[in-house]
Amino acid sequence: MTSSLRTLVMIPSRMASTRFPNKPLADMHGLPMVVRVIHQAEKAKVGDVYVAAGDAIIADTVLAHGGRAILTDTALPNGSERIWQGVQRLMAQGVPQPDIIINAQGDEPLLPPELLQHTLDAFAANPAIDVVTFAHEISNPADINNPTKVKVVTTRQGRALYFSRSPIPHGAPTMLRHIGFYGYRYDALKRYIESGEGRLENIEKLEQLRGLELGLHYHVIVTHHEPIGVDTPADLEAALGLLGTNAHG
């Protein structure tokens, strides 16, 4: 399905990381990690790709590798705030207001391009959807009680009912793990940002709960892809191994 929705892909990225200092610039077979993410996002061909950079060194690195970047304030609290500010600054420079803003994580160098394509397909098919995100069925039993693996429950049609760090629904033989990848309609992200932090968001430390409290329609697409996020040097080694012989492509 092709879409006429004007789309910007924003990759939030900042240097501050206690577990993995300088993570965005980590070398991955000759390319910084954030540049690997750009290349994966560009393969989807859904719109222009920018890094919303919280540090000048990230922006300079992206530009040096032929990518696009917009500098954002360092102290923004989450990726959604960073991409929103990035879009506003791009619009101030003359970039047209997008219909859809896709938030692609800066620490997922193996990002499947089809996730971006499926996001636009979902928006085009259902005007009631405010936010598109993804989940996969948990295959590792250890993830069920791991609070860093966020769980989600949905309606039969895929609308998110709740996200939690706890196992939900209680006693279920299978659960869905949420993938922190979002596509927003412009007005939905505007409403999200302007509302400020929500009560549930504060309790669980999950930014998507702010949107649920506001009544935004989060549509969850179940995929077979399990994200390979890089949070530690050990994760980087695993991702490098998966890149394998395609590392220089």
Give a yes or no: residue 81 inside a domain: yes
Give a yes or no: residue 247 inside a domain: no
Give a yes or no: residue 249 inside a domain: no
Note the pLDDT of residue 221: 98
Closest by CA position to 185, among listed 241, 140, 242, 119: 119
C-alpha torsion 113→71→209→196, nearest 10 = -160
Q: Which DSSP category does 27 fall into?
A: E
Which residues are paired to 32 by β-bridges?
A: 27
d(CA 139, CA 240): 22
CATH number of the domain at 101, please.
Answer: 3.90.550.10
Asked if 235 and 16 count as a contact pair (C-beta separation under 8 A), the reply is no
Q: Which DSSP category does 138 fall into?
A: -
Note the pLDDT of residue 55: 95
Cβ within 8 Å of residue 16, ≥6 positions away: 54, 74
The residue written with tokens 């690195």 in the block is 61
The domain total for the chain is 1
Note the pLDDT of residue 3: 63
Residue count (the chain): 249
Cβ within 8 Å of residue 85, ≥6 positions away: 52, 72, 73, 76
How confident is the model over 165-222, as pLDDT tens digits? Answer: 999 999 998 999 999 899 999 999 999 999 999 999 999 999 999 999 999 999 999 9
Give a yes or no: residue 57 inside a domain: yes
Helices 33-43, 113-125: inter-axial angle, 10-degree rounding? 50
Note the pLDDT of residue 77: 86
Range of the domain at 85: 7-237
Closest by CA position to 93, among listed 61, 45, 50: 50
CB-CB neighbours of 224 under 10 Å? 8
Strand pairing report for 48-53 and 69-71: parallel
Give a yes or no: residue 1 inside a domain: no
Indicate the SS3 state at residue 89. Answer: helix
Give a yes or no: residue 200 inside a domain: yes
Note the pLDDT of residue 249: 42
Closest by CA position to 168, among listed 186, 149, 193, 195: 149
Note the pLDDT of residue 18: 66
Give a yes or no: residue 12 inside a domain: yes
Give a yes or no: residue 219 inside a domain: yes
Instruction: Indicate the pTM of the whole model.
Output: 0.92
pLDDT values of the chain reduced to their tens digit, one per residue, 249 residues: 446 899 999 999 999 766 788 899 999 999 999 999 999 999 999 999 999 999 999 999 999 999 999 999 998 988 899 999 999 999 999 999 999 999 999 888 999 999 999 999 999 999 999 999 999 999 999 999 999 899 999 999 999 999 999 999 999 989 999 998 999 999 999 999 999 999 999 999 999 999 999 999 999 999 998 877 787 888 888 888 888 745 444
d(CA 204, CA 101): 25
Which residues are paired to 164 by β-bridges?
A: 151
Note the pLDDT of residue 33: 94
Note the pLDDT of residue 243: 80
d(CA 114, CA 29): 23
